[in-house]
Structure 1
Amino acid sequence: MKNIPRPEHPRPDFFRNQWLNLNGQWDFEIDTSNTGIDKKFYLLEKKFREKIVVPYPPESKLSGIENTDFMVSIWYRKNIKIPEHFAKKRIFLNFGAVDFLTNVWLNDIHIGTHTGGYIPFRFEITDAIKKENVLTVNAYDDNRTYLQPCGKQSQRYYSYGCYYTRTTGIWQTVYLEATERNYLKNFKIYPDYDSGDVLFFLNIDGQSEVKTMIFAENECICEKTVSGSGNTFFTINIKNFIPWSIENPFLYNVKFVLYSNGVKQDEVESYFGFRKIEIKGKKILLNNSPVFLKMVLDQGYYPDGIYTAPSQEDIINDIKIAKHMGFNGARLHQKIFEPLFLYWADKLGYLVWDEYPNWGIKSRISHEAFSVLIKEWIDVIERDFHHPSIIGWCPLNETHMPQDNELVRTIYHITKKFDTTRPVIDTSGYIHVETDIYDCHNYNQDPEQFKKDFEPFKSQEKIWQNYPQLDAPYRGQPYWVSEYGGTWWAEGKQGWGYGDRPKTKKEFIERYRKLTEVLLNHPKITGFCYTQLYDVEQETNGLYTYYRKPKFDPELIRKINLKKAEIEK
């Protein structure tokens, strides 16, 4: 797979060794009038005129297309030769993510449809597959309708302010998987930090014997075999387990092997970590100890790949530069990041807030938009559930009036229903309705005024709020300044950010220090999230440039960030 872009398996948390990466060059066509389905572009006689490199979106340089105009409908085609070892097996076609409405044909046969731009989906193609095949994909994507969540993707022709180049169509890895008749459809893992129990929920297609093996540093430490079909539950206890933490992100590997009448059917590898996150009063506890969130805003954009990281190394690098500057995690902002990012967050001990890209739909969410949002959000929780790095969920960001408060409350409770183990912020910043952690976004650039904003909270239950006349009353939750800073710096040119640009780098560092120390020194504030890790296009308020070059001495940032927070003492 040396010449295949993004050759690594996209799901270390759901790994089958029987797989085939379909990334690389595909035929491509822009369907300007959105009449391709009516004109039967999916039939084999239709020839596509361009070439695109998948999984990079057509707006990106790496795709070879680099068209940043609105492309409401686009078409892909690829010839696929099935490996001999896939013969007589069940075969599944997987898409990591395609924005937004996807239709798939194989050899002129319509395989299926999927709605939503951020989560994986798959179709079984066993009955349609031949030795040599033609796969055709159509993606419809028009974010100007206000009916589809699209995060920070611009709804204008151009990028502006904090809105950036769009991503249309395929933007994560496409691949095939092969299994025997019985296979593991899905699973959840619940490690219990207090007891050492690991509860497994497996969804199995076909009556099978399931052998589960748990490994610590490549040594099998325990195994269990159960019989099951459909939903299957069992528990394995690990005595004297090693916790997952920021300092020591220890992971246990797990292997599920399915048998039927002694014949191996399927094998899936994954992992988990023992990590406990809970709220006690105004504190957030990680493994029963207070943790101060020293987070940085990460928007998941890349200059040459837009939504798609050019390589796995780029993903690792973003986490490493943040950790080096003394941040212990990130708020993954207005985008559902690919599973590989979460895998490396798990591996490197990097805390994550998972946030849904609700921008693109109006704050007063229509029923049509809600049906898309809630289904995809539930799928996000299901996909990402057992990543120990994820310490909280946030389905909405900065919702405005007129918002439907009961709908926001419903989304909060649905999130809690699907995961009882993590705190939930209903809508980050504003306008809060019901939330486990009360957060705010404060971009005051004057450190003295910034300090005054939070001073009453030291002696009273009076917090600074973005919309005090609209926000739900504060009820003693942990209080998090989940956006601050945003100070722009674009040496020698104009840029977009918050407030006046510092005149020198020294002035920037001094402002960063004073703003950050206000939060570190406050006895009731439980964390911060600085805006932002790197510049994104015209938004030049990153600590690094868009091409991931440091704008300031990282050691100076690190020295400020490593100071112990008052609430941890």
Structure 2
Amino acid sequence: MDSRIIQNIDSRDKISLNGLWQTIIDPLENGYYNHQYGLRTKKAFYKNRKMKSPSDLIEYDFDSDYQLTVPGDWNTQMEKLYYYEGTIWYKKSFDFKKKTNSKVLLYFEAVNYQSIVYLNGKKLGAHVGGFTPFQFDVTDHLIEGENFIIVKVDNQRKKDGIPTLNMDWWNYGGITRSVHLINVPNSYISDYNLQINKQNSKYIEGWVAIEGAEDGEQVVVEIPELKKQISVFTTNGLAKFKIKASPKLWTPGNPKLYKVTLKSKSDKVNDDIGFRTIETKGSKILLNGSEIFLKGISIHEEAPFGLGRVSSKEECLILLNWAKELGCNFIRLAHYPHSETMIKEAEKMGFLIWSEIPVYWSVAFDNQETFANAVMQLEDMISRDKNRAAIILWSVANETAEGASRNIFLKKLTDKARKADASRLITAALNSQTNKGNEIAIEDKLGAYVDVIGINNYCGWYGGKPSSCADIKWTNNYDKPMIMSEVGAGALQGLHGEKNERWTEEYQQAVYENNIKMMKNIDFLSGSTPWILMDFRSPRRHLRRIQNDYNRKGIISEQGIKKKAFFTLKDFYLSQDIKD
């Protein structure tokens, strides 16, 4: 697997491998292990063997087995796979014609969770993690004419995984995002970063990485609208630059993006990039030097209308337009990196973004392999999205229990995040506050490591009555901004009753009304992302006729119908004096 993932595939010559893939459901992993649990070779499914004579014994056949659509999860495509966790083999045949003086990359936007990839019966490599891209240089593995890719996909939850065994969202399995063959020159622009200088916003600085470059190779950076062009030269494959410029800064009210062109002697890449600054000052968040209140909502990568995992631009836009109608200028993309499409569409629409990795609940904090997995997912998330001005917060964790090993793990993770990207703020969502009667104190040691403190607090749902929330007072051990990263209650859309009757829209609305009163009295509050935009599937939710495998804390139903709380939150956001 290539160590540096190619940046901005939308600017590349791509061949889509989306569509129907042949599949084999393999709960015993019979295509990978023999009956003694040794690795198969000749009879392994990735060989894609065919009968050559009537007496041949081959006990599998991709071409006569099930089909699944890629991108997509298997759980909602086939009823028998709704709860399935295990291995499914995917196969795609395609014709290929070689080009001279070029390389070909096989690029997966995401596969959940563990994948092993084979091309024409030979192993290319493996990847762990369900929400970040990976690629292979397949130039020397492709043949003229028909080729076939086989991917062993395993979505089994693991105690030492990221996320771990226990989670509150659906473990959608499959090749959940798009697959591409990407043609690039032998020497190509593999990565780049452009940002406003943190100390002086009159400068744009960055770097361009060239795969296969010779030292001294020229790289040209152009921003036509600003009438800027600069030539720099590579050292060890990297060309650094600094341009004096005064771009209009990206804001939610004016999400300005500039056309940027990067050229090497054999390659050219275009991107749309915005420039802005983000920092904290005491308990305030400053965007481009001005205080901003983040009017947000949390969003899962759950497709509207009961379709499963989000797999299309159209589904992203439905969710984003609901958030826009709510009055948001900010979204928390929980609890894992969402698709590149989601990030780019949100940026164009003027949403600031909180992006996070699934270090969630009971992680194996003492396990070094678990930490390495978390670091890989963090660095892959940052690498893919570092040029998106909309992202202002990298989150390293959600609702992790306090403890020495956890604190060490997350301190090291925040250090890794800052090393990978010093231009953004670091956060985490905490739920370990100290209750002192009618007062709640933020004392979690993780608060010392992050720039912005996220707080998950479910007053009125998991503790207290809705009316008990309004008068709660908050104190903060840290002179840092706080975002109320989760607050809310469950309601079945269409179920009505008294305000003290659980699961009714009225109860959910009462929780919102009283928590909004509470939030208005928190002087160090810089924003909120209530839980959550839309109802989403979760195997933890067993209450039939109410939950029916859905977490009902959405303020919109999975069928797109708004609940009363939607309008309560919208009114709160309309009342805020926001400086964009």
Q: Secondary structure at the match of 1:395?
A: strand
Q: Is the 8 A contact 1:535 1:542 kept in 2?
A: yes
Report how far residue 487 of structure 1 moved. 4.3
Q: Is the 8 A contact 1:56 1:172 kept in 2?
A: yes
2:128 corresponding residue in structure 1: 115
Is 1:54 aligned to 2:70, yes or no? yes
Is 1:172 aligned to 2:177, yes or no? yes
Q: Is the 8 A contact 1:58 1:67 kept in 2?
A: yes
Q: 1:76 aligns with which of 80, 87, 90?
A: 90
Give the whole-Å Cα distance in 2 for the aligned partners of 1:524 and 1:452: 16
Q: Is the 8 A contact 1:297 1:531 kept in 2?
A: yes
Q: Secondary structure at the match of 1:327?
A: coil
Identity, in percent, stands at 24
Q: Aligned in 2, Cα 1:336/1:381: closer, same or farther, shift over 3 Å?
A: same
Report how far residue 294 of structure 1 moved. 1.6
Deviations 1:484-529 (A, max 9, x none): 12342433499xxx99537564x65455334224323543322222
User: Where in structure 2 are the equivalents of 1:250-399 lying within 5 Å?
Assistant: 250-259=256-265, 265-302=266-303, 304-309=306-311, 311-359=312-360, 362=363, 364-399=365-400
Give the whole-Å Cα distance in 1 for the aligned partners of 2:511 and 2:457: 14
Q: Aligned in 2, Cα 1:82/1:408: closer, same or farther, shift over 3 Å?
A: same
Report how far residue 275 of structure 1 moved. 1.1
Is 1:444 aligned to 2:459, yes or no? yes
2:546 corresponding residue in structure 1: none
Q: 2:202 aligns with which of 177, 181, 196?
A: 196
User: Where in structure 2 are the equivalents of 1:111-260 lying within 5 Å?
Assistant: 111-132=124-145, 133-143=147-157, 145-150=158-163, 163-192=168-197, 194-205=200-211, 206-207=213-214, 208-216=217-225, 221-228=227-234, 230-239=237-246, 241-259=247-265
User: After the TM superposition, which segments of 4 or more aligned residues of structure 1 sit over 6 Å from their partners?
Assistant: none
Give the whole-Å Cα distance in 2 for the aligned partners of 1:493 and 1:174: 45
2:533 corresponding residue in structure 1: 533
> Structure 2: 5+ residue runs without aligned partners?
1-5, 33-39, 51-60, 433-443, 538-549
Is 1:44 aligned to 2:59, yes or no? no
Q: Aligned in 2, Cα 1:13/1:481: closer, same or farther, shift over 3 Å?
A: same
Report how far residue 168 of structure 1 moved. 1.7
1:4 corresponding residue in structure 2: none
Which residue identity lines up with residue 43 of structure 1 in the other structure? Answer: K
Query: Which stretch shows the higher mean deviation, 246-255 or 399-408?
Result: 399-408
TM-score by length of 1: 0.84
Q: Is the 8 A contact 1:409 1:426 kept in 2?
A: no
Is 1:91 aligned to 2:93, yes or no? no
Give the whole-Å Cα distance in 1 for the aligned partners of 2:576 and 2:399: 29
Report how far residue 453 of structure 1 moved. 2.2
Report how far residue 409 of structure 1 moved. 1.2
Q: Is the 8 A contact 1:363 1:402 kept in 2?
A: no
Which residue identity lines up with residue 413 of structure 1 in the other structure? Answer: D
Which residue identity lines up with residue 281 of structure 1 in the other structure? Answer: G
Which residue identity lines up with residue 126 of structure 1 in the other structure? Answer: T
Report how far residue 100 of structure 1 moved. 2.1
Report how far residue 449 of structure 1 moved. 2.7
Give the whole-Å Cα distance in 1 for the aligned partners of 2:316 and 2:457: 28
Give the whole-Å Cα distance in 1 for the aligned partners of 2:144 and 2:175: 24
Q: Aligned in 2, Cα 1:370/1:553: closer, same or farther, shift over 3 Å?
A: closer
Q: Secondary structure at the match of 1:245?
A: coil
Which residue identity lines up with residue 131 of structure 1 in the other structure? Answer: E
Give the whole-Å Cα distance in 2 for the aligned partners of 1:181 and 1:499: 67
Deviations 1:453-506 (A, max 9, x none): 22xx4xxxx34xxxxxxxxxx221112222112342433499xxx99537564x
Give the whole-Å Cα distance in 2 for the aligned partners of 1:385 and 1:429: 28
Q: Aligned in 2, Cα 1:71/1:511: closer, same or farther, shift over 3 Å?
A: closer
Give the whole-Å Cα distance in 2 for the aligned partners of 1:560 and 1:170: 39
User: Where in structure 2 are the equivalents of 1:512-551 lying within 5 Å?
Assistant: 512-537=512-537, 538-551=550-563
Q: Aligned in 2, Cα 1:185/1:32: closer, same or farther, shift over 3 Å?
A: same
Give the whole-Å Cα distance in 2 for the aligned partners of 1:423 and 1:402: 24
Query: Which stretch shows the higher mean deviation, 280-289 or 266-275?
Result: 266-275
Which residue identity lines up with residue 331 of structure 2 in the other structure? Answer: A
2:491 corresponding residue in structure 1: 488
Which residue identity lines up with residue 372 of structure 2 in the other structure? Answer: S
> Structure 1: 5+ residue runs without aligned partners?
1-10, 156-161, 260-264, 464-473
Give the whole-Å Cα distance in 2 for the aligned partners of 1:71 and 1:438: 35
Q: Secondary structure at the match of 2:162?
A: coil
**How many corresponding residue pairs?**
517
Which residue identity lines up with residue 452 of structure 1 in the other structure? Answer: D
Q: Is the 8 A contact 2:106 2:181 kept in 1?
A: yes
